[in-house]
Chains A and B, each alone.
Chain A
């Protein structure tokens, strides 16, 4: 069974700090990795995608991928209260199948 694991949290960080969200996956053949942000009662919103090993930066967000360790992470710099949400890690395992982790709840304290 292909799995995507995330720490459910909640992860609590003070405003201005770096939030680090982690995700591991079981299918070594996975090619594409995504981070979605989901506010309570809303739909998932794409934050980042990453296909290659290494880091990818977009504004305050950095995605990191290590295929050898089957590990993907999301760093949020200068965290803001508006970043408080559930962050879903998603892994495209082939065909049309994307497996979502259970999500990590992030709280940014003002």
Chain B
């Protein structure tokens, strides 16, 4: 089973709203990732958690706040977003085996900021 789930599938929010994206995997993977993907562009890495600790923050604005409550869950808290933040947000996980980081993606959350 290589399933990563994400909720919600779609989200529309105003620039003053606070919302959260959720991601879950039950494959025993110890690394979890958030990516942002704009239309016709490749995924861009935002954050990586390894063993529930933040390992990489790719200079993401503070209006995006990640959280990893446990090894199976990953959240992305959103606050005061801008219209240019509209994109497909992808969660991924990997087993964290040195040199062979096969990442499995969830279905994504399509976010529209008005």
Residues of A within 8 A of B (CB): 31-32, 34, 36, 41-46, 49, 51, 88, 90, 92, 95-98, 100-103
Contact = CB atoms under 8 A, between A and B. Distances in A.
23 contacts: A31-B99, A32-B99, A32-B100, A32-B102, A34-B102, A41-B110, A43-B108, A44-B43, A44-B90, A46-B2, A46-B104, A46-B105, A49-B100, A49-B102, A92-B99, A95-B55, A95-B56, A96-B31, A96-B33, A96-B101, A97-B45, A100-B42, A103-B42
Nearest to A89: B42
Contacts of B102: 32, 34, 46, 49
Interface of B: 2, 31, 33, 41-43, 45, 48, 50, 55-56, 88, 90, 94, 99-108, 110
Contacts of B100: 31-32, 49, 51, 92
Nearest to B101: A92
A101 B106 CA distance: 19
Given A34-B103, A92-B99, A101-B42, 15 more contacts: A34-B102, A42-B107, A43-B105, A44-B90, A46-B2, A46-B103, A46-B104, A46-B105, A88-B42, A92-B100, A95-B55, A96-B31, A96-B48, A96-B94, A100-B43
